[in-house]
């Protein structure tokens, strides 16, 4: 197990799923749920003669930040691209379910419990979506996670973290968008169809996936922050993500409603206005939208240091 103190300064981008999970909660509070020693791994991969992992490429755990119980789900991109199959999906679903049940029991036993003592769920995404080897099981898992997100609503805030190599794509892009708050680093990427898939389907003229600068200014953390798809943009350190979660965890659950992208007529109205704006201005590049948001020098936004970016940037409001 990595040392907690070392993890705080460690690059979130380069950290594996377990290091992220351990470092996100307070020192000494980490307990893994359905860990590798329990040997829950995909039966489908085994049938296909593929390598398995004893945690099925996903770490689930419970710990605390301050007084807040934190249920952690952390995906491992180095195992089949962080793809979601039957077992990994079940681990996600049941971790959220556990948090909800824990919440309900706490509130029943202690009616005067404070907001910061109520549990939250943190999901560190690193995934391309459904695991093709077990497609239907993986798709079902997506639906079940969405179901749990609905059940958690108004009770247990679900916080998304994106800053790992693979990013968050495919069906899991939908799942992330349906959570209450999204925290990203500038190396994080969020989207539905991955860049390579767009290029393959629509051609290099439509989207050149080898142009990483283009990919990042279309799906990356800085862009998502300007667009409002990301609520908090942080430095690329596990400690920085942890601090962001700590700040969010103490908020009353009603505050999270304001951060959501979907789930209310107002939020839907806002999304529709963004679509109408896109149809009207026909942007050729993300930078056109950044300029529209009121940034006089959109080209410079990519490279300036993050603290300057956060201080100066104008975010799109529709």
Which residues in this chain contact other proteins in the complex, by CB under 8 A? 6, 10-11, 13-14, 186-187, 210-214, 216, 220-222, 302-305
For other proteins, give the closer residue by CB, 17 or 73.
17
Q: How far is the CB of 110 from other proteins (least distance, A)?
A: 43
| Cα(19)–Cα(59) distance, integer angstroms | 10
CA distance 164 to 146: 22
Q: How far apart are CA 140 and CA 195, in angstroms?
A: 24
Q: What are phi and psi of 190, to 5 degrees?
A: -135, 130
Minimal distance in Å, beta carbon 186 to other proteins? Answer: 4
In angstroms, give the least distance from the CB of 29 to other proteins: 24
CA distance 185 to 20: 14
Q: Are 204 and 271 in contact (CB under 8 A)?
A: no
Of the pair 216, 241, the CB lying nearest other proteins is at: 216
Of 131 and 223, nearer to other proteins (C-beta) is 223
**Token pair 């749990």: residue:** 148
CB of 218 to other proteins, least distance (A): 12
The least distance separating other proteins from the CB of residue 211, rounded to whole angstroms, comes to 5
Considering the complex, state which of residue 1 and residue 108 has its C-beta at the smaller distance from other proteins. 1
CB 249 within 8 A of CB 241: no
- 29-58 burial: b if 16+ Cβ within 10 Å, else e: ebebbbeeeeebbbebbeeeeeebbebbbb
Q: Indicate the residue among 223 and 292 with the shorter CB distance to other proteins.
A: 223
Nearest Cα neighbor of 289 from 313, 262, 258 is 313
């Amino acid at each position: 197990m990595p040392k907690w103190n070392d993890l705080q300064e460690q690059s979130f981008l380069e950290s594996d799923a377990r290091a992220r999970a351990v470092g996100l909660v307070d020192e000494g509070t980490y307990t893994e749920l359905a860990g590798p020693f329990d040997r829950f791994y995909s039966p489908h991969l085994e049938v296909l003669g593929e390598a398995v992992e004893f945690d099925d490429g996903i770490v689930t755990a419970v710990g605390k930040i301050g007084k807040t119980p934190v249920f952690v789900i952390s995906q491992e991109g180095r195992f089949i691209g962080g793809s979601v199959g039957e077992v990994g999906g079940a681990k996600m679903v049941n971790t959220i379910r556990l948090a909800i049940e824990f919440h309900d029991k706490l509130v029943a036993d202690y009616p005067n419990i404070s907001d910061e003592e109520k549990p939250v769920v943190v999901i560190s995404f690193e995934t391309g979506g459904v695991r093709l080897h077990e497609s239907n099981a993986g798709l079902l898992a997506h639906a079940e996670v969405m179901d749990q997100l609905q059940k958690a609503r108004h009770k247990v805030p679900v916080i998304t973290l994106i800053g790992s190599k693979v990013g968050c794509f495919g069906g899991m892009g939908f799942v992330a968008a349906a959570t209450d708050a999204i925290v990203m680093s500038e190396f994080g990427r969020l989207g539905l169809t991955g860049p390579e898939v767009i290029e393959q389907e629509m051609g290099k003229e439509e989207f050149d996936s080898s142009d990483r600068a283009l990919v990042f200014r279309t799906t990356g953390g800085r862009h998502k922050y300007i667009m409002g798809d990301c609520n908090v943009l942080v430095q690329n350190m596990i400690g920085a993500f942890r601090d962001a979660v700590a700040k969010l965890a103490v908020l009353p659950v009603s505050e999270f409603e304001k951060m959501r992208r979907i789930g209310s007529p107002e939020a839907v109205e806002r999304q529709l206005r963004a679509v109408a704006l896109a149809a009207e201005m026909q942007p050729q590049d993300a930078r056109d939208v950044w300029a529209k948001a009121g940034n006089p020098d959109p080209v410079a936004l990519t490279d300036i240091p993050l603290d300057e970016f956060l201080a100066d940037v104008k975010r799109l409001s529709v």
